Structure 1
Amino acid sequence: MKKILLMSVVALSLVGASGCSNNSNSTNNSSVKSSKTVQKKHWDKKKDQKLAKEMDKYSKKKSQTYTKYDGKNKLSTSANRIYPDAFKKDTFKLNGKKISIGWSPQGEHHYDYDVLAIYNHDLTKDGQHKTFLFCWHNQKPIVLVDESGKGNVVNLHVSQDKSLNGSFSNIMYGENI
Protein backbone atom coordinates (compact mmCIF):
# COMPACT_ATOMS: atom_id res chain seq x y z
CA MET A 1 0.00 0.00 0.00
CA LYS A 2 2.83 2.36 0.87
CA LYS A 3 4.48 1.49 -2.46
CA ILE A 4 1.34 2.36 -4.41
CA LEU A 5 0.95 5.60 -2.49
CA LEU A 6 4.61 6.50 -3.05
CA MET A 7 4.37 5.69 -6.78
CA SER A 8 1.21 7.81 -7.04
CA VAL A 9 2.95 10.79 -5.42
CA VAL A 10 5.94 10.39 -7.77
CA ALA A 11 3.68 10.04 -10.82
CA LEU A 12 1.66 13.11 -9.84
CA SER A 13 4.86 15.06 -9.27
CA LEU A 14 6.14 14.17 -12.72
CA VAL A 15 2.81 15.04 -14.35
CA GLY A 16 2.68 18.31 -12.45
CA ALA A 17 6.27 19.14 -13.36
CA SER A 18 5.68 18.45 -17.03
CA GLY A 19 2.50 20.55 -16.91
CA CYS A 20 4.48 23.44 -15.42
CA SER A 21 7.09 22.95 -18.05
CA ASN A 22 4.51 23.19 -20.83
CA ASN A 23 2.96 26.27 -19.27
CA SER A 24 6.28 28.02 -19.04
CA ASN A 25 6.97 27.23 -22.69
CA SER A 26 3.64 28.66 -23.75
CA THR A 27 4.26 31.71 -21.58
CA ASN A 28 7.69 32.13 -23.13
CA ASN A 29 6.24 31.83 -26.63
CA SER A 30 3.53 34.39 -25.95
CA SER A 31 6.00 36.81 -24.38
CA VAL A 32 8.23 36.45 -27.43
CA LYS A 33 5.25 37.25 -29.65
CA SER A 34 4.17 40.24 -27.56
CA SER A 35 7.70 41.63 -27.44
CA LYS A 36 7.74 41.91 -31.21
CA THR A 37 6.24 45.32 -31.84
CA VAL A 38 5.01 46.29 -35.24
CA GLN A 39 5.53 49.96 -35.93
CA LYS A 40 2.23 51.40 -37.09
CA LYS A 41 2.36 53.63 -40.09
CA HIS A 42 -0.02 56.54 -39.76
CA TRP A 43 0.00 57.71 -43.36
CA ASP A 44 -0.59 55.81 -46.58
CA LYS A 45 -1.44 56.41 -50.21
CA LYS A 46 -5.18 56.27 -49.59
CA LYS A 47 -5.04 58.96 -46.88
CA ASP A 48 -2.73 61.04 -49.07
CA GLN A 49 -5.26 60.89 -51.91
CA LYS A 50 -8.09 61.91 -49.57
CA LEU A 51 -6.07 64.89 -48.37
CA ALA A 52 -5.33 65.86 -51.99
CA LYS A 53 -9.09 65.94 -52.68
CA GLU A 54 -9.71 68.01 -49.56
CA MET A 55 -6.94 70.44 -50.50
CA ASP A 56 -8.43 70.74 -53.98
CA LYS A 57 -11.79 71.73 -52.42
CA TYR A 58 -10.01 74.06 -50.00
CA SER A 59 -8.06 75.81 -52.75
CA LYS A 60 -11.23 76.37 -54.80
CA LYS A 61 -13.03 77.74 -51.75
CA LYS A 62 -10.14 80.15 -51.04
CA SER A 63 -9.47 80.90 -54.73
CA GLN A 64 -5.83 79.91 -54.20
CA THR A 65 -3.55 77.38 -55.82
CA TYR A 66 -1.64 74.97 -53.59
CA THR A 67 1.36 72.99 -54.73
CA LYS A 68 1.83 69.62 -53.06
CA TYR A 69 5.23 68.21 -52.15
CA ASP A 70 5.20 64.93 -54.04
CA GLY A 71 7.98 63.24 -52.08
CA LYS A 72 10.42 63.48 -54.99
CA ASN A 73 10.68 66.99 -56.41
CA LYS A 74 11.66 69.69 -53.94
CA LEU A 75 8.99 72.24 -53.08
CA SER A 76 10.19 75.83 -53.12
CA THR A 77 8.34 78.74 -51.51
CA SER A 78 8.60 82.41 -52.41
CA ALA A 79 10.54 82.86 -49.14
CA ASN A 80 13.31 80.75 -50.71
CA ARG A 81 12.51 77.91 -48.32
CA ILE A 82 12.91 74.53 -49.95
CA TYR A 83 11.00 71.58 -48.52
CA PRO A 84 11.91 69.02 -47.25
CA ASP A 85 15.54 70.29 -47.08
CA ALA A 86 14.46 73.12 -44.77
CA PHE A 87 13.77 70.63 -41.97
CA LYS A 88 17.48 69.81 -41.77
CA LYS A 89 18.83 73.25 -42.65
CA ASP A 90 16.55 75.67 -40.77
CA THR A 91 15.42 76.08 -37.16
CA PHE A 92 11.71 75.47 -36.64
CA LYS A 93 9.87 77.07 -33.75
CA LEU A 94 6.33 76.72 -32.50
CA ASN A 95 5.12 79.29 -29.96
CA GLY A 96 8.70 80.55 -29.67
CA LYS A 97 10.15 77.14 -28.77
CA LYS A 98 12.43 75.08 -30.99
CA ILE A 99 10.78 71.84 -32.09
CA SER A 100 11.87 68.55 -33.61
CA ILE A 101 10.15 68.35 -37.00
CA GLY A 102 10.89 66.55 -40.24
CA TRP A 103 9.64 64.80 -43.32
CA SER A 104 8.21 61.44 -42.30
CA PRO A 105 6.01 60.27 -45.16
CA GLN A 106 4.43 57.42 -43.22
CA GLY A 107 4.50 58.93 -39.74
CA GLU A 108 7.20 56.63 -38.40
CA HIS A 109 7.83 58.65 -35.22
CA HIS A 110 11.22 60.03 -36.20
CA TYR A 111 10.41 63.49 -34.83
CA ASP A 112 8.13 65.16 -32.31
CA TYR A 113 6.25 66.48 -35.35
CA ASP A 114 6.24 63.95 -38.19
CA VAL A 115 5.33 65.81 -41.38
CA LEU A 116 3.08 63.62 -43.52
CA ALA A 117 2.15 66.09 -46.26
CA ILE A 118 3.15 69.59 -47.36
CA TYR A 119 1.09 72.08 -49.41
CA ASN A 120 2.31 75.55 -50.37
CA HIS A 121 0.68 78.68 -51.79
CA ASP A 122 2.84 81.64 -52.79
CA LEU A 123 0.94 84.88 -52.24
CA THR A 124 3.57 87.21 -53.70
CA LYS A 125 7.00 86.97 -55.21
CA ASP A 126 8.57 88.89 -52.31
CA GLY A 127 8.33 86.04 -49.83
CA GLN A 128 4.73 85.95 -48.69
CA HIS A 129 3.49 82.39 -48.68
CA LYS A 130 1.31 79.97 -46.75
CA THR A 131 2.71 76.49 -46.33
CA PHE A 132 0.62 73.85 -44.57
CA LEU A 133 2.52 71.08 -42.78
CA PHE A 134 0.20 68.19 -42.00
CA CYS A 135 1.75 66.48 -38.98
CA TRP A 136 1.35 63.64 -36.52
CA HIS A 137 2.24 64.77 -32.97
CA ASN A 138 1.62 62.97 -29.65
CA GLN A 139 -0.70 60.47 -31.37
CA LYS A 140 -2.81 63.29 -32.80
CA PRO A 141 -3.12 65.06 -36.15
CA ILE A 142 -2.10 68.71 -36.22
CA VAL A 143 -1.84 71.24 -39.05
CA LEU A 144 1.04 73.69 -38.73
CA VAL A 145 1.43 76.76 -40.90
CA ASP A 146 4.64 78.38 -42.15
CA GLU A 147 4.16 82.01 -43.18
CA SER A 148 7.68 83.07 -42.19
CA GLY A 149 9.67 85.36 -44.39
CA LYS A 150 13.15 84.71 -45.68
CA GLY A 151 15.72 83.46 -43.19
CA ASN A 152 16.77 80.34 -41.36
CA VAL A 153 14.25 80.58 -38.51
CA VAL A 154 10.79 79.29 -39.34
CA ASN A 155 8.12 80.45 -36.90
CA LEU A 156 5.17 78.10 -37.19
CA HIS A 157 1.69 78.44 -35.81
CA VAL A 158 -1.18 76.00 -35.49
CA SER A 159 -3.80 76.35 -38.21
CA GLN A 160 -6.97 78.04 -37.00
CA ASP A 161 -8.97 76.83 -40.01
CA LYS A 162 -11.59 74.55 -38.44
CA SER A 163 -12.63 73.06 -41.78
CA LEU A 164 -9.08 72.10 -42.76
CA ASN A 165 -8.25 70.80 -39.26
CA GLY A 166 -11.46 68.76 -39.20
CA SER A 167 -10.84 67.24 -42.61
CA PHE A 168 -7.30 66.24 -41.66
CA SER A 169 -8.48 64.71 -38.37
CA ASN A 170 -11.20 62.75 -40.15
CA ILE A 171 -8.66 61.42 -42.64
CA MET A 172 -6.21 60.43 -39.90
CA TYR A 173 -8.86 58.66 -37.83
CA GLY A 174 -10.38 56.93 -40.87
CA GLU A 175 -13.73 58.69 -40.70
CA ASN A 176 -15.69 59.36 -43.86
CA ILE A 177 -15.42 62.89 -45.14
Structure 2
Amino acid sequence: MSASVAGVLSSVERILLDEVAIRQRVVEMAGRIRNDFAGRELTVVALMDGALFFVADLLRDVTLPVKLHTLSVSSYHGGTSSTGRVEMARTLPFDLRGRDVLLIDDILDTGLTLGTMQERILAECQPVSLRTAVLLSKQRPREREVAVDYIGFEIADEFVVGYGMDYQGHYRNLPCIGILNPANLPVS
Protein backbone atom coordinates (compact mmCIF):
# COMPACT_ATOMS: atom_id res chain seq x y z
CA MET A 1 0.00 0.00 0.00
CA SER A 2 1.35 3.41 -0.92
CA ALA A 3 2.07 6.01 1.75
CA SER A 4 -0.55 8.34 0.27
CA VAL A 5 -3.31 5.68 0.47
CA ALA A 6 -2.20 4.78 3.99
CA GLY A 7 -2.50 8.46 4.92
CA VAL A 8 -6.03 8.66 3.55
CA LEU A 9 -6.94 5.42 5.35
CA SER A 10 -6.04 7.10 8.63
CA SER A 11 -9.18 9.22 8.12
CA VAL A 12 -11.34 6.10 8.33
CA GLU A 13 -12.70 5.13 11.74
CA ARG A 14 -13.06 1.50 10.71
CA ILE A 15 -12.94 -0.60 7.55
CA LEU A 16 -16.33 -2.10 6.74
CA LEU A 17 -15.35 -4.06 3.60
CA ASP A 18 -11.78 -4.75 2.53
CA GLU A 19 -10.44 -5.08 -1.02
CA VAL A 20 -10.63 -8.88 -1.03
CA ALA A 21 -14.28 -9.02 0.10
CA ILE A 22 -15.30 -6.37 -2.43
CA ARG A 23 -13.48 -8.09 -5.28
CA GLN A 24 -14.95 -11.49 -4.47
CA ARG A 25 -18.51 -10.15 -4.32
CA VAL A 26 -18.14 -8.12 -7.54
CA VAL A 27 -16.98 -11.28 -9.37
CA GLU A 28 -20.02 -13.17 -8.00
CA MET A 29 -22.39 -10.41 -9.13
CA ALA A 30 -20.82 -10.34 -12.60
CA GLY A 31 -21.37 -14.10 -12.89
CA ARG A 32 -25.07 -13.72 -12.12
CA ILE A 33 -25.42 -10.89 -14.63
CA ARG A 34 -23.59 -12.92 -17.31
CA ASN A 35 -25.97 -15.83 -16.74
CA ASP A 36 -29.09 -13.66 -16.72
CA PHE A 37 -28.18 -11.86 -19.96
CA ALA A 38 -26.40 -14.73 -21.78
CA GLY A 39 -26.52 -14.33 -25.55
CA ARG A 40 -27.73 -10.73 -25.44
CA GLU A 41 -26.13 -7.31 -25.63
CA LEU A 42 -26.41 -5.41 -22.37
CA THR A 43 -26.87 -1.65 -22.19
CA VAL A 44 -25.54 -0.26 -18.92
CA VAL A 45 -26.58 3.06 -17.41
CA ALA A 46 -24.12 3.88 -14.63
CA LEU A 47 -24.90 6.59 -12.10
CA MET A 48 -21.79 8.61 -11.46
CA ASP A 49 -19.62 9.58 -9.70
CA GLY A 50 -19.91 7.17 -6.78
CA ALA A 51 -20.34 4.02 -8.87
CA LEU A 52 -17.20 4.63 -10.96
CA PHE A 53 -14.97 1.97 -9.38
CA PHE A 54 -17.79 -0.56 -8.97
CA VAL A 55 -18.92 -0.18 -12.59
CA ALA A 56 -15.37 -0.51 -13.94
CA ASP A 57 -14.65 -3.66 -11.93
CA LEU A 58 -18.07 -5.23 -12.52
CA LEU A 59 -18.05 -4.69 -16.28
CA ARG A 60 -14.55 -6.15 -16.65
CA ASP A 61 -16.05 -9.42 -15.40
CA VAL A 62 -19.28 -9.24 -17.41
CA THR A 63 -17.98 -10.90 -20.55
CA LEU A 64 -20.93 -9.95 -22.75
CA PRO A 65 -21.26 -7.28 -25.41
CA VAL A 66 -21.86 -4.10 -23.37
CA LYS A 67 -22.86 -0.60 -24.36
CA LEU A 68 -22.08 1.82 -21.53
CA HIS A 69 -23.72 5.15 -20.72
CA THR A 70 -23.03 7.32 -17.68
CA LEU A 71 -25.30 9.81 -16.04
CA SER A 72 -24.63 12.26 -13.25
CA VAL A 73 -27.35 12.00 -10.62
CA SER A 74 -27.20 13.06 -6.99
CA SER A 75 -29.32 13.51 -3.91
CA TYR A 76 -26.50 14.11 -1.39
CA HIS A 77 -25.10 17.45 -2.61
CA GLY A 78 -21.99 17.34 -0.39
CA GLY A 79 -23.49 16.18 2.90
CA THR A 80 -23.67 12.85 4.71
CA SER A 81 -27.38 12.27 4.12
CA SER A 82 -29.78 12.64 1.23
CA THR A 83 -31.30 16.07 0.75
CA GLY A 84 -34.44 14.51 -0.73
CA ARG A 85 -33.85 16.35 -4.03
CA VAL A 86 -32.67 14.26 -6.96
CA GLU A 87 -30.70 16.35 -9.46
CA MET A 88 -30.18 15.04 -13.00
CA ALA A 89 -30.39 15.95 -16.67
CA ARG A 90 -33.83 17.03 -17.90
CA THR A 91 -33.69 14.57 -20.77
CA LEU A 92 -31.76 11.33 -20.94
CA PRO A 93 -28.94 11.78 -23.47
CA PHE A 94 -29.16 8.26 -24.92
CA ASP A 95 -31.67 5.92 -26.56
CA LEU A 96 -32.60 2.79 -24.62
CA ARG A 97 -35.66 1.81 -26.63
CA GLY A 98 -35.81 -1.94 -27.24
CA ARG A 99 -32.65 -2.65 -25.21
CA ASP A 100 -31.87 -4.84 -22.19
CA VAL A 101 -30.81 -2.24 -19.62
CA LEU A 102 -28.83 -2.64 -16.41
CA LEU A 103 -28.96 0.42 -14.13
CA ILE A 104 -25.97 0.51 -11.77
CA ASP A 105 -25.46 2.64 -8.67
CA ASP A 106 -23.08 2.49 -5.76
CA ILE A 107 -25.57 2.51 -2.90
CA LEU A 108 -29.28 2.15 -2.20
CA ASP A 109 -30.12 4.51 0.64
CA THR A 110 -33.44 6.38 0.61
CA GLY A 111 -34.52 4.90 -2.73
CA LEU A 112 -35.14 8.34 -4.22
CA THR A 113 -32.34 8.32 -6.79
CA LEU A 114 -32.78 4.75 -8.02
CA GLY A 115 -36.57 4.91 -7.94
CA THR A 116 -36.57 8.14 -9.93
CA MET A 117 -34.15 6.72 -12.50
CA GLN A 118 -36.05 3.44 -12.87
CA GLU A 119 -39.28 5.35 -13.39
CA ARG A 120 -37.74 7.68 -15.99
CA ILE A 121 -36.07 4.91 -17.96
CA LEU A 122 -39.27 2.85 -18.08
CA ALA A 123 -41.50 5.82 -18.97
CA GLU A 124 -39.24 7.67 -21.40
CA CYS A 125 -37.15 4.94 -22.99
CA GLN A 126 -39.26 1.77 -23.24
CA PRO A 127 -36.47 -0.78 -22.78
CA VAL A 128 -37.11 -4.50 -23.37
CA SER A 129 -36.02 -5.09 -19.77
CA LEU A 130 -34.66 -3.08 -16.86
CA ARG A 131 -32.69 -4.55 -14.00
CA THR A 132 -30.81 -2.75 -11.26
CA ALA A 133 -27.52 -3.46 -9.48
CA VAL A 134 -26.08 -1.78 -6.40
CA LEU A 135 -22.91 -2.52 -4.51
CA LEU A 136 -24.39 -1.53 -1.14
CA SER A 137 -27.90 -1.52 0.27
CA LYS A 138 -28.38 0.29 3.56
CA GLN A 139 -30.64 -1.43 6.07
CA ARG A 140 -32.99 1.44 6.72
CA PRO A 141 -36.55 2.52 5.97
CA ARG A 142 -36.83 3.74 2.40
CA GLU A 143 -38.56 6.94 1.37
CA ARG A 144 -39.36 5.12 -1.84
CA GLU A 145 -39.46 1.35 -2.35
CA VAL A 146 -37.16 0.20 -5.14
CA ALA A 147 -36.76 -3.20 -6.78
CA VAL A 148 -33.09 -4.18 -6.97
CA ASP A 149 -32.00 -7.34 -8.78
CA TYR A 150 -28.35 -7.52 -7.76
CA ILE A 151 -27.07 -6.42 -4.34
CA GLY A 152 -23.44 -6.69 -3.33
CA PHE A 153 -23.69 -6.13 0.41
CA GLU A 154 -26.33 -5.20 2.98
CA ILE A 155 -24.88 -2.68 5.42
CA ALA A 156 -26.04 -0.77 8.48
CA ASP A 157 -27.33 2.76 8.06
CA GLU A 158 -23.93 4.45 8.28
CA PHE A 159 -22.20 6.97 6.04
CA VAL A 160 -19.52 5.18 4.03
CA VAL A 161 -16.58 6.29 1.91
CA GLY A 162 -14.12 4.58 -0.39
CA TYR A 163 -14.28 2.49 -3.56
CA GLY A 164 -15.80 5.47 -5.36
CA MET A 165 -17.97 6.84 -2.57
CA ASP A 166 -16.98 10.18 -1.13
CA TYR A 167 -17.42 12.89 1.42
CA GLN A 168 -17.32 16.26 -0.33
CA GLY A 169 -15.24 14.79 -3.16
CA HIS A 170 -12.65 13.13 -0.92
CA TYR A 171 -11.88 9.45 -0.14
CA ARG A 172 -13.13 8.00 -3.46
CA ASN A 173 -9.71 6.43 -4.08
CA LEU A 174 -9.71 4.23 -0.98
CA PRO A 175 -9.40 0.58 -2.06
CA CYS A 176 -11.80 -0.44 0.71
CA ILE A 177 -15.13 0.81 2.07
CA GLY A 178 -15.01 2.39 5.48
CA ILE A 179 -16.79 4.52 8.00
CA LEU A 180 -15.33 8.01 8.08
CA ASN A 181 -14.00 9.15 11.44
CA PRO A 182 -16.40 11.87 12.67
CA ALA A 183 -13.39 13.93 13.77
CA ASN A 184 -12.55 14.36 10.08
CA LEU A 185 -15.91 15.95 9.22
CA PRO A 186 -15.99 19.74 9.19
CA VAL A 187 -17.89 21.32 12.07
CA SER A 188 -21.15 22.91 10.87
Both structures adopt the same fold (TM-score exceeding 0.5): no
TM-score between both structures, scaled by the size of structure 1: 0.32
Structure whose residues are more often helix by fraction? 1
Q: Which has the higher contact order (CA 8 A, sep 6+)?
A: 2
TM-score between both structures, scaled by the size of structure 2: 0.31
